[in-house]
Structure 1
Amino acid sequence: MDLASQATGIGALSEPVRRALYEYVVSQTDAVSRERAATAVGVATHTAKFHLDKLVDEGLLKTEFRRLSGRSGPGAGRPSKLYRRGEREFAVSLPPRRYDLVGHILASAVERAATDGTSMAAAMDAAATDEGRAAGSTSASRSEDDLDRLSETLTDQGYEARVEDDTVLLANCPFDTLAKEHTALVCGLNQHYVQGVAEGLGADALQACLEPADGWCCVRTRRS
């Protein structure tokens, strides 16, 4: 999670006029002009323009240009600048949560089980491992030590990892609520995901193990 960027984007909505303009624009079925938005929330057009463009800068809105008259050619007038919801998604969770990742793994497992005829348990393990490998293979870590590389990569995934006594410990579980309600399922998924990340990093000597402990995520990783 890019916390700084996400927080800045969502923080743009803390200004009341800006938030009102955003809520109005996204509630419409089509893009709207700044004049229409200004009238809807009761502010001057130049004020609406300032706040709308700030929302565009943060990726919350996007713009397009279109003649509202529907006419074209000479005399049709200049195209108007219109605003609509941006395509960027925002989600800030502290501590970090990755329920989207669990959903993706579960969906992949269901498809795998339906296609290959494997059990759901095996499909879950395979899907979690594959997802972890993908994350590890695209890691930006430049550390030379495998444990450090795994720690940095898992921290980027929301685990708040740290290396202690030659072991990667995870101070945060990105799947916390699900893990509390479906412990065996989610912790097993977690173990295979972390192992997949290590494999994606090329750190084949690392082994992810289930070792639940109070105050820690259930997975610990050390050299095998």
Structure 2
Amino acid sequence: MSSALEAVAVLGDDLRRRLYDHVRRSPAPVTRDEAARDAGISRKLAAFHLDKLVAVGLLSVSYARPAGLRRAGRTPKVYAPAETSLQISIPPREHGLLAGILLRAVRHQAPGESGTDAALRSAASHGRSLGAADRDRLRPGRLGPERALTYVADLLERHGFEPARDAPTRMSLRNCPFHPMAADDPDLVCAINHAFVSGLLDGLGATTLDATLAPRPGNCCVTLATRPPSP
């Protein structure tokens, strides 16, 4: 999020926005001289702003001598659009995550399996994969349940859930990263959300925690709590 915000801030300058648009429209990488001519500014000023755009990841820079240029000296820098995309949403949204879950469900739907069951299976599988990738770093299974809840919050925060500790043993998720699509089919999207979070806990090895489906207006439909001790 912070890098995307920095990029948006850089594009808030009208001159940088014009330079960025010129580079994106160009069929070939653009030199500083070409950018300066298009913007009607000095080469030095164009270089300053182009390098700002590179610094926040909007443009890439390389060295290439344009065709037909035989002048001796240093090979000029050329600028091209970076192969990255930026998206900002406040509060955070993870529509790409939901789309990926549904795409995998369609690809791997078993014969006779309903679309809903395929989606829930896909969500749980994806959650387990993400949790397993962080298991060695977080290791919540080696912690007491209350500390495990704190560590799990770190991973959920990265996916836009905005976890909030309501009590030492309970955590709510204040943001639904799949909103507003959840409004179209709340039962399905909330079930996918629950399957994803449950799978994530499973992948992490957070055996002392449970994810519960508990829809609340304005919040994510999932809450997490420590399991009661065994009798």
The TM-score with structure 1 as length reference comes to 0.89
Q: Tell me by how many angstroms 1:223 deviates.
A: 3.2
Where do 5+ consecutive residues of structure 1 fail to align?
A: none
2: CA distance between counterparts of 1:70 and 1:201? 58
1: CA distance between counterparts of 2:186 and 2:53? 41
Please list, as runs of the form range in 1=range in 2, the aligned pairs for 1:1-224 lying within 5 A after superposition: 3-69=1-67, 78-113=74-109, 116-117=110-111, 118-139=113-134, 141=138, 144=143, 145-165=147-167, 166-224=169-227
SS of 1:138's partner is: helix
Would you say the 8 A contact 2:139–2:205 is kept in 1? no
The count of residues paired between Structure 1 and Structure 2 equals: 218
58-67 or 207-216, which deviates more? 207-216
SS of 1:174's partner is: coil
Letter paired with 2:195: H
The TM-score with structure 2 as length reference comes to 0.86
Where do 5+ consecutive residues of structure 2 fail to align?
A: none
SS of 1:20's partner is: helix
C-alpha spacing 1:24/1:38, structure 2 compared with 1 (3 Å):
same
Q: Tell me by how many angstroms 1:215 deviates.
A: 3.0
SS of 1:69's partner is: coil
Would you say the 8 A contact 2:31–2:77 is kept in 1? yes
Would you say the 8 A contact 1:67–1:77 is kept in 2? no
